[in-house]
Amino acid sequence: MLVLFVLLSAACTHESKVRVLKLAHGLDTEHPVHKSMVYMAEILKEESGGSLVISIYPSAQLGSERQCIELLQIGSLDMTKVSASALEGFAPAYKVLSLPFIFDNREHSYEILDGAVGREILLSSEKYWLRGLTFYDAGSRSFYTKDRPVKHPDDLKGLSIRVMKSPTAMEMINSFGGNPTPISWGELYTSLQTGRVDAAENNPPSFFHSHHYEVCKYYCLDEHTSVPDVLLISTITWEQMKEKERKWLEDAARRSSLYQRKLWIEDEKESMRQLEAAGTIIIASEEIDREAFRDAVEPMYEKASSDPVVGQLIERIKQSTRYEENN
């Protein structure tokens, strides 16, 4: 009995030295972001010598995007991945990332997200018990439709268009003349089939992997928004961590973000290839009147600029070197 007691005590002591972080998200295991999270977990385990590990729960096992955010706020979940649009209601700074055409191109978005502006946005939600760790690339969102191509905002008039539950996304569709219809991602395929909505918008991998191309004939590369994903940690968890644990986690998150960007670009190219092979009619960006789309959302910028938080972020993004070079 004495020997058993010693062994059990040793086991408990060893176990107490291991901190396990629960990370839940709604993506499937083949998604580039999930693969990057697995990569992050591997780095973290190695850097910490096994004392800090991440247990990942994909495919909405622990709840929807909104539910995971709420679980973080009460400390019942340690980490999650959400779209930046989902955080608009918690921290106003995130609104700037959902503005149409805020980034000139992918390189410009990386420059901003990796810099001071990105860091400021990530930390802006701390008072809501949500601390941002890093951004993941979610590409550019474009319209896909069932019955007609979209080359000009007028082509969206009268169409019911699925959007995320984001005030900025709804305002954008209204600016283009469409009818914004918030629908959960899981319900969208059926909603397109039944005619509840006529169109939707998303990046190429999401359009392909969701099989929405089976219902929508046209994919129009207007690339109106480039809303990134955000890796969050509960501030309740963050405050319980030691300084060295925080550094390990931040380093692993940063490295996973760089790794994810490579995976994302590969997945984008393959998705476009598969869409073309499936007979999807792809309207190239050169065929689209992007200036007309930009002009249509100018009132959104006027309104957003009046917000003291969002307004100064818009100006800093516009004043960035890359933006000035390309505009």
Please name every residue paired with 23 in a beta bridge, in sequence order, or none if there are none.
Answer: 56, 79
∠ CA 310-316-318, rounded to 5°: 100
Q: Strand 281-283 relative to strand 218-225: parallel, antiparallel, unpaired? A: parallel
Tokens of 309: 């938080």
Q: What is the DSSP letter of 115?
A: S
Amino acid in position 112 = I
Query: What local confidence, expressed as pLDDT, does residue 265 receive?
Result: 97
Q: What span, in angstroms and rounded, lies between the C-alpha atoms of 257 and 114? A: 10
Please give the backbone phi and psi of residue 35, each rounded to the nearest 5 degrees, phi first. -60, -35
Going by pLDDT thresholds of 50, 70 and 90, the confidence category of residue 323 is very low
Give, as one character, the DSSP assignment of residue 228: P
Identify the CA nearest to 231 among candidates 264, 254, 197: 254
Distance CA 268, CA 99 (A): 22
Bridge partners of 218, per DSSP, are: 145, 281
The token pair that represents 259 in the structure block: 């790794």
181 strand-pairing partners = 162
Quick one: angle between helices 116-123 and 308-318, nearest 10? 160
User: Mean of the pLDDT values across residues 215-244?
Assistant: 98
* Mean pLDDT computed over every residue of the chain: 93
* The three-state (H, E, C) secondary structure of 56-120, written as one string: EECCCCCCCHHHHHHHHHCCCCCEEEEEHHHHCCCCHHHHHHHCCCCCCCHHHHHHHHCCHHHHH
pLDDT digits (tens, 9 = 90+) for 3-56: 444 444 444 444 458 999 999 999 889 899 999 999 999 999 999 999 999 999
**Signed CA dihedral, 130, 252, 166, 318: sign only:** positive
* Straight-line distance from the first to the last Cα atom of the chain, in angstroms, rounded to the nearest whole number: 77
Domains with residue ranges and CATH for the chain: 19-138+228-269 (3.40.190.170), 141-226+270-326 (3.40.190.170)
Tokens representing 314 are 């818009």
Per-residue pLDDT at 215: 98
pLDDT at 7: 42
Pair of tokens at residue 316: 């800093």
**pLDDT score at 165:** 86
**Quick one: which of 161, 126, 127, 124 has its CA closest to 143?**
161
Pairing of strands 141-145, 199-202: antiparallel
Please report, as a single letter, which amino acid is at residue 236: I
pTM above 0.85, yes or no: yes
Confidence class of residue 252 from pLDDT cuts 50, 70 and 90? very high
Higher pLDDT, 8 or 69: 69
Distance CA 3, CA 210 (A): 56
pLDDT above 50 (res 189): yes
The answer to whether residue 167 scores a pLDDT higher than 50 is: yes
Q: Return the minimum-mean-pLDDT range out of 17-21, 89-93, 205-209, 319-323.
A: 319-323
Question: How much is the average pLDDT of 217-238?
Answer: 98
Q: Which helix (H) or strand (E) holds 273?
A: helix 243-277
Residue 89: which pLDDT band, with cuts at 50, 70 and 90? confident
Predicted local distance difference test score (pLDDT) of residue 310 = 97
